[in-house]
Structures are given as C-alpha cells and as structure tokens.
A and B are shown apart, each in its own frame.
Chain A
Amino acid sequence: MTGAKGVSVHLQSCSKTFPDGTRALEPVSLDVACGETLVFLGPSGCGKTTTLRIIAGLEQPDDGGRVLFDGEDVTHLPIERRNVGMVFQSYALFPNMTVADNIGYSLKIRGASRAERTTRIAELVTLTGIGGLENRSIDQLSGGQRQRVALARAVAMRPRVLLLDEPLTALDASLRERLRAELNRLLRSLGITAVYVTHDQAEAMALGDRIVVMRNGAIAQIGTPREIYFEPASRFIAEFVGAANILEATAADGFLALRGGRLAIGGDGKNARGNVVAMVRPEAIALVAPEGASLTGRLETASFVGDRLRLTVAGVSERPLSIDAPNTVSARPGDLVGLLIDPNAIRLFPGERS
C-alpha cells in the first residue's frame, strides 16, 4: 500500500564485548527473511537490545562478526547510511519540531521536495491514525499518540528494515494491547522486514512470525510462537514463555511416576528412563472424576478470573499443579479431583535437573 519493502537480514557470528570487558553477546548467527517479523524475547540483560543495535548500526560487532542486508555487507556502514527505521522505547521524538516535521525529517534529509513530503506525511498520518495532529508540538501528545508518531517517522523513508526496541513498554496495559493489534496490522500491511525487541512474551507471541528467545547473551531457541510455546527447548523457556508446571519425576515404560499417580508420556518421551524433568501447560490438564482416574490430587485454591477458572491442585507432584479450567467447571477447595493429561502435551527436558 505504501510501497515499503524489506530486505533479508543475515547476522554472521556477531558477538559484542564492551570496552570494560563485559560480554554482552555470545557469537550469534541468524537470518531474518524478507518481510518477516522476528521478535527477540528475553529478560533484561539477555543481549536482545545489543543484537538490535548491531543490526541498526548503533553498535559494532566484535571482529569477525558481519551484518548483511540482502547479501550486502553493511557491517561498517554507519546507521545513517543503512536506511533502517527505528522506534525507540522512549520514542525519541524531536521536541523542537512539530508532528509533521518529525515524520518528514528523513524525507527532508533525502532532499524530497515540500510537495512530496506533504503527500507522504498525509499518507502516514492516515495509516497510523493520527490525522489532525500534524501541527501539534510533541509535548502536546499523549503516550499513544507519541508512539504512533514514532512509528510513522520510522517508516517514512521506506526503510529496508524496521527496528523496534520495546516500543510499547512505556504505555499502560490497556493501551498497550490495543496498539499491539494496530502494530500487527500495520507490519503485515507494510510487508516490511521487522525486528522487534521485547521482554513481554504475550507481545512476542502476538507479533512475531518467529521468536528468538535469548538468555545470558546467547540464543536459547528460535521458532514460531507455536513451537516456542508447545515445544520449548529448555525449562527456562517453558517457564519464561507462558505458565508451565514443572514435574520432577522418574520415568519408566512410557509413564512418569508421580506422588498422585501415573502419567502416560507420548511422543519422543516414551522411551525415557530414570530421573527426568517434564513440563505441562496449565490448560492441557482437564479435571475428571477422581474415581478411576490414574492421577489424583486435592484442590487447594480455585479463583474465578472471568474467562476461565484458575486452580491449584496439591498432592500430585512436589509443587502444587496449576490448572486452567473452563469457567463452567464448579469445584471447591478441599475436593478430591482426578486429572487427565494428554500424553502428547507432556514435554521432557533431557539432561535437566532441578
């Protein structure tokens, strides 16, 4: 619609050591496909922002690291010549310029005529839903409006890659959710290659074609939101992305032996033996009648949160199990309950111990 198109991005063993000797990033290699939205997810200090800044050209990777845009080596190209759009967490809008001047700044630098600029600015304010604010100064805008201006400004010159550094973090929860949906629609309609950094797993799930989970300066897992959620590569990822019940148990003959009974394991875990660490999501556990159930426990707490019932059941494993049940289920704390878990929903983490 606006003619913006992206390039593929390739990082080749990019690591980053700061002058004081701290290692912010272990060598990272990855590809972002043309038009894809790749989300870097991780706790603070995991290296996600450093990776983004290396792609942007705001940081240089250590010697040996290379950054390629569509095969072109841009490692030593400063940010102002990379043609990347960037949205900062603080937005970094220019307080000395109006909304329109902020959006049109990159076009002005590229020598676009006043008429061209006006047309493009009009296009962008419509696209981002901030029509009528063109002549406002930045300090007259709300947080959500600033976020939209920052986005419009970043895509004005049709960048090769759009980089977003926690762009929704500064907003309050309800606005964040609304803007997340808007952002999603915008990224799809622009068809632009985007790299998005966040510590919010819901944001990562909603926006990412693929998610890169990072931890301690290294990639922990790369995959689609479904892969990350259903097939987490480690206990850390299982617990960081969504809620997870971690079960430490002994496996034999395709079953996990738990305090509250036996649990059948499906898929690759079938042949596991000995002490294992397993994971099951709260929504994968169903409540059944205790009679004849292979796994039982005692309901400890039940809280009604509207769209579902959040339960904790004790006596099944070391720690109470949390369960998301449909909001139509009626159960009272103290009840003996049976649990039914799809064998394929059990994921084992080989080689992990408590």
Chain B
Amino acid sequence: MTKTRILFGLQLAFTLLVAAFLIVPAILSMVAGVTVNYFRGIRSGVTLHWIGQVWELYADTIGRSFEIALATLLVTLVIGVPAAYALHTRGGRFSRIVEEIITLPIAIPGLAIALALILTYGGIGGFRRSWLFILVGHVIFTLPFMVRAVMAVFATIDVKTLDESAASLGASPWRRFRDVIVPNARPGILAGALMVVTLSLGEFNLTWMLHTPLTKTLPVGLADSYASMRLEIASAYTLIFFVMIIPLLVAMQWIGAGAGLMPGKKS
C-alpha cells in the first residue's frame, strides 16, 4: 500500500517537474512583458507600457499575420476540401501518389521550400514584394493538414456510398458536394481550419525567407524585436501572441473532441 503510494508520489513529482520545465519559460517570458525592468525583476513594478510600445511598432505585423492566416484558410478550404473528396472517392495508386506529394512539405524544411519559391518566382518583382508571396508558402505548408483532417472524417463516414446514394437520387456532383459531402465533413473541415489558422499565424521558417521589410508577419516581427529591442518589448510581443493563439488552440481541442465522438454517434 505504502509502496504504491510512494511510487505514485514519485511519478507525480516527475510529471510536475517536466511540466514545469516546459511551462515556466513561457510564464517567465509573459511576465517579463509586463515588468518595468526585467533585470531588476518583478519588484521593479508592473506596466502595460511595453505592450503599448509593441502595438505602436508592430501593429501592422499582427494585422498582416491575421490577413495571411485568413487568406491561407480560404485557399486551403477551396483547394483542400474538394481535393480530399476527390482523393477519397477516386482512391487507387494515383490518389495515393498525389496525397504523398501534398504531404511532402511537412517533411521538407521550410527554408528549402522558401528557397525554391524564391529561385523560381523571385524574379517577378511585384509578386516577390507582396504578401501574396508569403501566402503561397503558407498554403504549401498548411494544405496537407486540411486535406488530412477532412480525409480522416471521410474515412469514418463511408463518404463514397453517401455520394453514390445522393447520385442515385438525382443529385449532380456539385449538389452532392454541397448537400451531403460538406455537411458531413464539417468536423474535419473545422479541425483542419483551426489547424491551418494556428499554423499560419505561428509560421516562421518559410516566412523568414519569404518576407520583405514591408511584409513582416508577427513571428518575423518577434524575431526582429528579440534581435533589436529591449527584452521587455520582445516579451510583451510574446504575450500578445499567446493571447491570440490560445483561444484558437482551445477551440481546436474542443472541436477535436467533438470529431472524435463522431464514429460512435454513427453506429
């Protein structure tokens, strides 16, 4: 009895230690963002001054990040959902090859993708200088997440037979897609959408290479502020990022749990 209790105590202590190891830096960083002088510690006082300053310096990067994230979402929805539908219903070797190609960007370093984009399209000045250049990178990187999430749901609802039955009732391919496929793929589409938005908001590797001084995103601005500003400003910036991203992560968890219930609900 006591032996199991000691064992449990040790396990708990170890878990807490690991959790603390991971969480404390994040908390310290956020606390630093509201501290008057980080080197004198929290006793120097608490202020929103740094946050105000970040807003002044980097508000455009925050806005741009959201713009790009939403545009990325739009493009991945328009391409990803029909792609998942086609890949799932067609099946076969060709579909698997396409799926692999779509998934490849997850494994390739962002820097390599960015380099390839710059080599190929960098010469088109207007495109290179606009935020659309970053958008392309983000779409390449996030598309597999959308396609995978939607295909996962398709795999649980036998979408092929649903499609065939809608067809037997007279529905055209577009009608089937709208009335039957999309509504039943909703949990996957939502999960994919949140994933795409969070990934796009936090994307640094690709964006670092693709951005120009006029097309900085939030994570790029963050790196910039760490390199060239007071530590408190960079930390305040981190704090803003957290406040933005955490609700999204929570929503993702929540919807993920809902989607997990789907197969059970179906039976």
Q: Does B170 contact A (CB under 8 A)?
A: yes
Q: Does B168 contact A (CB under 8 A)?
A: yes
Interface size of B in residues (CB-CB distance below 8 Å): 22
Q: Give chain B's interface secondary structure class.
A: helix
Shortest CB distance B153–A (Å): 11
Q: Does B15 contact A (CB under 8 A)?
A: no
Q: Does A80 contact B (CB under 8 A)?
A: yes
Q: Does A58 contact B (CB under 8 A)?
A: yes
Whether the Cβ atoms of B169 and A106 lie closer than 8 Å is yes
Whether the Cβ atoms of A105 and B166 lie closer than 8 Å is yes
Given contacts A90-B158, A92-B158, A92-B161, contact A80 B168 (CB under 8 A): yes
Shortest CB distance A5–B (Å): 18
Contact of A80 among B157, B172, B179, B267 (CB under 8 A): B172
Whether the Cβ atoms of A106 and B170 lie closer than 8 Å is yes
Whether the Cβ atoms of B266 and A79 lie closer than 8 Å is no
The residue of chain B having its C-beta at the shortest distance from the C-beta of A104 within the complex is: B169
Given contacts A94-B184, A95-B266, A96-B183, contact A110 B161 (CB under 8 A): no
Instruction: Supply 13 further A-B pairs (C-beta < 8 A) apart from A94-B165, A163-B168.
Output: A78-B167, A80-B168, A80-B171, A84-B168, A88-B161, A92-B158, A92-B161, A95-B157, A96-B184, A105-B179, A109-B170, A109-B175, A157-B170
Q: Does A7 contact B (CB under 8 A)?
A: no
Convert B174-207 into 0s and 1s, putting 1 for each residue whose CB lies closer than 8 angstroms to a CB of A. 0100011001100000000000000000000000
Whether the Cβ atoms of B266 and A109 lie closer than 8 Å is no
- Inter-chain contact count A-B, CB under 8 Å? 66
A37 to B209, CA, bound (A): 68
Interface size of A in residues (CB-CB distance below 8 Å): 28
| Residues of B that sit less than 8 Å from A by CB | 92, 157-158, 161-162, 164-172, 175, 179-180, 183-184, 265-267
Shortest CB distance B73–A (Å): 22
A92 to B184, CA, bound (A): 12
Chain A residues closer than 8 Å to B92, beta-carbon distance:
19
Q: Does A139 contact B (CB under 8 A)?
A: yes
Chain B residues closer than 8 Å to A79, beta-carbon distance:
164, 167-168
Chain B residues closer than 8 Å to A81, beta-carbon distance:
170
Shortest CB distance A79–B (Å): 5
Chain B residues closer than 8 Å to A156, beta-carbon distance:
169
Shortest CB distance A50–B (Å): 14
Given contacts A58-B164, A96-B183, contact A157 B169 (CB under 8 A): yes
A96 to B183, CA, bound (A): 6
Q: Would you mind naming 23 contact pairs between A and B with Cβ atoms under 8 Å apart?
A: A58-B168, A79-B164, A79-B168, A80-B171, A80-B172, A84-B168, A85-B168, A86-B164, A86-B165, A88-B161, A88-B165, A92-B158, A92-B161, A93-B165, A94-B162, A94-B180, A94-B184, A105-B169, A105-B171, A109-B170, A109-B175, A139-B266, A139-B267
